[in-house]
Amino acid sequence: MTTTAADRSAVPGQAPAGVATHCPYCALQCGMTLTVADRTTGLPSPRVQVQPRASAAGLGRLCQKGWSAAELLEHPERLRTPLLREVPGDRTSRFVPSGWDEALDVVAAGIRAAQVAHGRDAVAVFGGGGLTNEKAYALGKLARVALRTSQVDYNGRFCMSSAAAAANAALGVDRGLPFPVRDLVGTGVLVLLGSNPAETMPPFMAHVQAVQEAGGTVVVVDPRRTPTAAAADVHVQPLPGSDMALLLGLLHVVLRDGLEDAAYVAGRTRGIEELRAAARRYWPERVERLTGVPAGEVGSLARLVASHAPVAGGRGAVLLTARGSEQHATGTDTVLAAIDLALVLGLPGRPHAGYGCLTGQGNGQGGREHGLKADQLPGYRSISDPAARAHVAGVWGVDPASLPGPGRSAYELLDACGRPDGPRVLLLAGSNPVVSAPRAGHVSDRLAALDLLVVTDLVMSETAAVADVVLPTTMWAEEDGTMTTLEGRVVRRRKAVDAPVGCRTDLQVLAGLADRLGAGTDFPADAFPAAPRLVFEELRRASAGGRADYSHVGWDAVAADGSDGVHWGSPRMFVDRFPTADGRAVLHAVEHRALVEDVDAEFPWLLTTGRVLAQYQSGAQTRRVPSLVRSAPSSFVEVHPVLAAAHGIGDGDLVRVTSRHGVAEAPARLTPTVRTDTVFMPFHWGGAGRANSLTPPALDPTSRMPEFKACAVRLERAAPVRGMTDPEETA
């Protein structure tokens, strides 16, 4: 195979200067250039230097997580050799170093023993939303071909699954943004529902500010006055879990006052009469009782958004949902209500208008597109569709009948671990559910009940620490591959440096394991460093004709010097028709539902969870970067001063938060930016301050998304904490 200029970084031992790649964190996938210092010059660490690079979504910007990303490459806590328990089966025994052959032999033996004794589904696979497209595809293929298990899912189920389910049902396709992010500039009004990009993806705020600079209005719907809400023109502050009622109130006003785009609705949608009947029940005064948002605000917001719809001669309106609206047991219906509003106003497919979702994880989009969800095959195909099974089986060279059917969703899979009818062995790649899963204490207990837990990771995460086998993998700057951004761009991740001796790429790990399970010919074990390209080419064939069709996305085009990636599908969707059977979008008459576990006398307050600027996801990586730890050193509980006074809580006091599922303790931060009936905790930390010790296992009936964002709790002052860092210093 010829090595091109774009591939030079993949040559073993070579350390090129100026390697164009992308940030390892969120789905903006901001562009960056990595330069490698020559150690003989005496230059200080880190050896790899990061500079921002122009990209479609990042606009040449990086947040502090991106700027500091290279600090982890040579971190002393990097895993550098496989680890096994000194006493097999005893997780109280210490880890001891192992060779790769020994470790993979142990894993393969455990898999065979479990499947012989308990059947194929006794082995499960759990992936992460930060894996490259090639890794996600290969991991899903390993589950279906080598293991022949239905038990495979990924932590992206915790991220965007409700928005995905709603978009598929209403619009016929799931893509975070069905238009380029730069199309936001020029819109008349941008509505961010449950989104805080100022902390979760700061470079995105350049697009938000551009909307305002061009004369547009930015609206943020959030129970907290986040930095994003503070920068907005309008902040609407509903109760956690009530966004659907608010959206139905907006629909009521639009339809009652004749503000809809009647021609668009008649020609491009179906289901309007059922929607009208449902929306009539959500007059603004009722919505005020359900959401806490004054009736006048409901009417004003509806008229503001409608005034910018094309039918009203406006410049356009864009509605974007994110985790605050989606991570509920009603998340799918909430997103359907947002899409209903966009369709009734005639927004999708119009310039500077439409509905979209701000994808969170770096490759949450690509992971579900290529087979990491329990019910999907590559190309976003349904695993229950005979034609889809036949196509993918043909690419894989197996009998379609040998492919398993749909398995358990992410939380249900974790909950089943170690049970008589559940998985006995779990292979977990790039995820940390001991911190990130709902009802996390219970999930920890289920992992402890497994016969064998195998974790591949970069560092000793909280989940790796309770495993039987830990396998060290390469990092983003040590490997090649592709990622899919929130706007459906397939971008290239390039290798800049060699990994530490003893680490292997996930593709090498999967190939070695498949070989031991008798499926080695299905995985490119001997083709490294060309394996990512080979896997990508197979992925293209497997996805051809599917909802997420990558067959036209060539590796060379994605990898070209200066490339900003290639969209799968049209960059601007829905211009002429929707990808449904009749070309029309489907309106859904949804109904507001109360929280599964609402407040009562014992648990009178609502907890909502989220992120902070300096940390990312479960924090396994960012909590090891000194500059980020200085900015955000530990968990905390945001409490309104009025609520704090009622409980005798002072700023910095240790607060005990108790739900129906667990207890967490963290210092109090008194702030008027949160509602008086709501408290907030970030979810990046384990230990006593683990927010997900509290969150319930209630699941959305369609997407199986857990209800992370609303949980009934009680508060009490545990003890004062001296020397609490001023909140302003860590903002």
| pLDDT, position 509 | 96
Predicted confidence (pLDDT) per residue in 652-669, tens digit: 999 999 999 999 999 999
**Which residues contact residue 176 at a Cβ distance below 8 angstroms, ignoring those fewer than 6 apart?**
27, 160, 163, 356, 357, 358, 359, 365, 485, 486, 487, 488
pLDDT at 359: 85
pLDDT tens profile 161-174 = 999 999 999 999 99
Per-residue pLDDT at 42 exceeds 70: no
Average pLDDT over residues 236-253: 97
pLDDT tens-place string over residues 621-633: 999 999 999 999 9
- Residue 154 pLDDT grade (very low, low, confident, very high; cuts 50, 70, 90): very high
Contact 255, 276 (CB under 8 A): yes
Residue 608 belongs to what H/E stretch? strand 605-610
Q: What is the mean pLDDT of the chain?
A: 93
Amino acid at the residue 474: T
Q: What is the pLDDT of residues 364-410, one digit of tens each?
A: 899 889 999 999 999 999 999 999 999 999 999 999 999 999 999 99
| b/e burial code for range 98-137 (CB count within 10 A of at least 16 → b) | bebeebbebbbebbeebbeebeebbbbbbbbbbbbbbbbb
Mean pLDDT (whole number) for 581-602: 96
CA distances from 228 to 89, 195, 200, 572, 633 (A): 48, 8, 10, 26, 22
pLDDT of 251 above 90: yes
- Banded pLDDT at 538 (limits 50, 70, 90): very high
What residues have CB less than 8 Å from 617, skipping those under 6 apart?
130, 361, 432, 436, 684
- Of the pLDDT bands very low, low, confident and very high (cuts 50, 70, 90), residue 726 is very low
Domain 83-159+366-567: which CATH number of 2.30.30.40, 3.40.50.740, 2.130.10.30, 3.30.360.10: 3.40.50.740
What's the farthest any 2 CA atoms get from each other in the chain?
A: 74
Average pLDDT over residues 476-481: 95
What would the mean pLDDT of 512-527 be, rounded to a whole number?
85
Residue 43 has pLDDT above 70, yes or no: no
Question: Taking 60 as the threshold, does the pLDDT of residue 40 lie above it?
Answer: no
Once rounded to an integer, what is the mean pLDDT over residues 130-159?
A: 96
**Is residue 8's pLDDT more than 50?**
no
Express each pLDDT in 274-332 by its tens digit.
999 999 999 999 999 999 999 999 999 999 999 999 999 999 999 999 999 999 999 99
**CATH architecture of the domain covering 605-730:** Beta Barrel (2.40)
Under 8 Å between Cβ of 199 and 226: yes
pLDDT value of residue 47: 82
DSSP per position, 383-428? TT-HHHHHHHHHHHTS-GGGS------HHHHHHHTTSTTS-SEEEE
User: In whole angstroms, what is the distance from residue 150 CA to residue 403 CA?
Assistant: 8
Six-digit token string for 472:
């060290």
Q: Where are the domains of the chain?
A: 5-72, 83-159+366-567, 161-358, 605-730
Q: How confident is the model at residue 14 (pLDDT cuts 50, 70, 90)?
A: very low
Q: Give the whole-number percent of the chain exceeding pLDDT 70.
A: 94
125 close to 423: Cβ distance less than 8 angstroms:
no
Domain covering 161-358 in this structure, CATH number: 3.40.228.10
Share of the chain above pLDDT 90, in %: 89
- Is residue 9 very low, low, confident or very high in pLDDT (cuts 50, 70, 90)? very low
Give tens-digit pLDDT for 186-216. 999 999 999 999 999 999 999 999 999 999 9
Looking at CATH, the fold of the domain delimited by 5-72 is given as: N-terminal domain of TfIIb (2.20.25)
Task: Give the pLDDT of residue 295.
Answer: 98
Give mean pLDDT, residues 672-680. Answer: 97
Tell me what pLDDT residue 561 has. Answer: 57
How confident is residue 524, by pLDDT bands cut at 50, 70 and 90?
confident
CB atoms under 10 Å from CB of 634, counted, come to 17
Sorting pLDDT into bands at 50, 70 and 90, what band is 525?
low
User: Binning pLDDT at 50, 70 and 90, where does residue 46 land?
Assistant: low
